[in-house]
Amino acid sequence: NWSMQNVLDDQLRRVQSQVGPHAHAICALSGGVDSAVAAALVHRVLGDRLHCVFVDHGLLRYKERERVCEMFSKHLHLSVTIMDRSEQMLARLVGVTDPEAKRKAIGAEFIKAFQDFRDELMQQQEIKPAFLTQGTLYPDVIESCPPPGSGRTHSHTIKSHHNVGGLPKDLQFELIEPLKELFKDEVRQLGRLLDVPEDFIRRHPFPGPGLAVRILGDVTIENKLDELREVDEIFIESIREFGLYDKIWQAFAVFLPIRSVGVQGDQRTLSHVIALRAVTSMDGMTADWYPFEPKFLQTVSSRICNKVRNVNRVVYDVTSKPPGTIEWE
Ligand code: XMP
């Protein structure tokens, strides 16, 4: 695709002139396509001067850390430091129920992790990175902090994406954001030009704040995170089994803060309710709920209720965006 090749060449030149011949940069990889493509692009220019970090914030999906690390080392040849911040992150989230407060707390812990990563580079390798690479896309910018002239102001902010507008003044990083003018499908095209493996490119998006925005209310109590991981894995594996993964923009499970009455065996139960969501979309800005066949919903629902302890009800979200957003928080 000639126009994407132009975009790539232009961005490589821009990164080159922004960073210069000697400076170092860090990049936080999320496991998603955006940060992987941003890292691959910046890596073309900086090589060993790019230092990647993957922060395990304790809000990842089932086996996500292992899966993502294998993809980075096998296919992308990026040197990646793994930071386990799950304890610190979950400690910050105790008692936090408001969606925006959750996002802010997670954003703050991410910043702290970057700072610590930079300090480690300085202490152990005497490298002082001046730049931070981020896979910010155009829709992230619009929805988090509407650009001047767009007719929307800050009071119209829909969600604070943790990777936009949340950097404190004293962070002392200059941002490299090579995808800032692109939509997701363009990022995928760019990734192919950069030899990012197809498995990575086709991955459904996963939000930076992770499962925290898929557990309504306090994420730290009971065993919610593990329960949601189990349900999510069953849902996604079933979607793959039915050959539907590539037809769907994004699919996931949501943990609801309620209990419902059920009957399992001859026992009355009062257990958790899980909502499933799957949408089609071009760019994440608008979305339609995915019309699964009844057979699929029936299979998934019985798999979940049979396998996951404490879940006795599964509901399917039939809301488009707008009026719903894709994530529930
Ligand atoms: P919403 O829920 O706003 O989601 O309709 C649109 C797309 O953005 C993803 N999303 C995020 N991605 N950081 C991210 O990197 C975030 O804070 C964030 N919040 C939502 C969401 O998964 C969907 O693909």
Reported pTM:
0.90
Measured in angstroms, how far is the CA atom of residue 159 from the centroid of ligand 1? 8
Predicted local confidence at residue 158, as pLDDT: 72
Contact between 274 and 313 under an 8 Å Cβ cutoff? The reply is yes
> Given ligand 1 and candidates 161, 187, 204, which is best to mutate, with the most ligand atoms within 8 Å of its CB?
161
Nearest to 173 by CA among 18, 45, 314: 18
Q: What is the CATH number of domain 2-201?
A: 3.40.50.620
Token digits of residue 46: 């900086």
Ligand 1 centre and the CA of 249: distance in Å? 12
- For residue 30, give the ligand 1 atom closest to its CA: 15
For the stretch 209-227, pLDDT in tens is: 999 999 999 999 999 999 9
Centroid of ligand 1 to alpha carbon of 281 (angstroms): 12
Q: Is the pLDDT of residue 129 over 70?
A: yes
Weakest mean pLDDT among 104-118, 151-165, 176-190: 151-165
Instruction: Kindly give the number of the ligand 1 atom that is closest to the alpha carbon of 250.
Output: 24
148-157, 203-212, 253-262 — which is least confidently predicted?
A: 148-157
Average pLDDT of 196-208?
Answer: 92
Annotated binding site for ATP: 30-36
Cβ(93)–Cβ(212) below 8 Å: yes
Mean pLDDT of 141-168: 60
Question: Hey, which of 158-162, 198-202, 244-248 has the most confident mean pLDDT?
Answer: 244-248
Mean pLDDT of 199-205: 92
Q: How far is the CA of 31 from the centre of ligand 1 (A)?
A: 14
pLDDT score at 328 = 98
**Closest ligand 1 atom to Cα of 158:** 3
Angle, nearest 10°, between helix axes 2-19 and 184-193?
80
Average pLDDT, the chain: 92
Q: What is the pLDDT of residue 148?
A: 56
Categorize the per-residue pLDDT at 76 as very low, low, confident or very high, splitting at 50, 70 and 90. confident
SS3 percent helix, strand, coil of the chain, rounded to 5, is: 45, 20, 35
The residues, any chain, with a CB within 8 Å of residue 267's CB and separated by 6 or more, are none
Distances (CA, A) of 136 to 1, 81, 91, 176, 283: 22, 21, 27, 9, 13
List the end-to-end C-alpha distance of the chain, in Å, as a whole number.
37
Is 251 within 8 Å of 235 (Cβ atoms)?
yes
Tens of pLDDT, residues 2-59? 699 999 999 999 999 999 999 999 999 999 999 999 999 999 999 999 999 999 999 9
Nearest CA to ligand 1 atom 6: 284
Rounded to the nearest whole angstrom, what is the distance from the C-alpha of residue 41 to the centroid of ligand 1? Answer: 22
- Residue 307 Cα to ligand 1 middle (Å): 29
pLDDT in tens, 9-25: 999 999 999 999 999 99
Q: Please give the Cα distance from 259 to 279 (Å, whole number).
A: 25
Rg from Cα positions in the chain: 20
What residue owns the CA closest to ligand 1's atom 18?
Answer: 207
How many Cβ atoms sit within 10 Å of the Cβ of residue 109?
20
Nearest CA to ligand 1 atom 16: 161
Q: What is the C-alpha separation between 44 and 47, in angstroms, rounded? A: 6
Nearest CA to ligand 1 atom 7: 284
Neighbour count for residue 168 (Cβ, 10 Å): 10
CATH class in words for 222-316: alpha beta
Ligand 1 atom closest to Cα of 287? 5
Scanning the chain, the segments in alpha helix (DSSP H) are 2-19, 33-46, 64-71, 86-93, 99-125, 138-144, 184-193, 198-201, 224-241, 294-307
CA of 265 to the centre of ligand 1 (A): 39
Nearest ligand 1 atom to alpha carbon 327: 2
2-201 and 222-316 have identical folds = no
Q: Tell me the two tokens of residue 150.
A: 């767009």
| CA-angle at 75, arms to 71 and 80, nearest 5° | 65
User: What residues pair up with 132 in beta bridges, in sequence order?
Assistant: 26, 175
Q: Which amino acid is at 104?
A: K
Ligand 1 atom 12: the closest Cα is on which residue?
Answer: 207
- pLDDT of 165 strictly over 90: no
| The pLDDT of residue 75 | 83
Structure tokens at 45: 């220019």
Beta-bridge mates of residue 185: none
Q: Enter the tokens of residue 128.
A: 């002082």
DSSP bridge partners of 133:
27, 176
* pLDDT tens digit sequence for 62-74: 999 999 888 888 8
What amino acid is encoded at 10 in this protein?
D
Collect all residues with Cβ–Cβ distance below 8 Å to 18 and sequence separation of at least 6: 131, 174, 176
Q: How confident is the model at residue 154 (pLDDT cuts 50, 70, 90)?
A: very low
pLDDT digits (tens, 9 = 90+) for 271-303: 999 999 999 999 899 999 999 999 999 999 999
Residues with CB under 6 A from ligand 1: 143, 159, 161-163, 205, 207-209, 250, 284, 321, 325-327
Structure tokens at 24: 């170092």
* Helix H or strand E encompassing 26: strand 25-29
List the domain boundaries for the chain: 2-201, 222-316
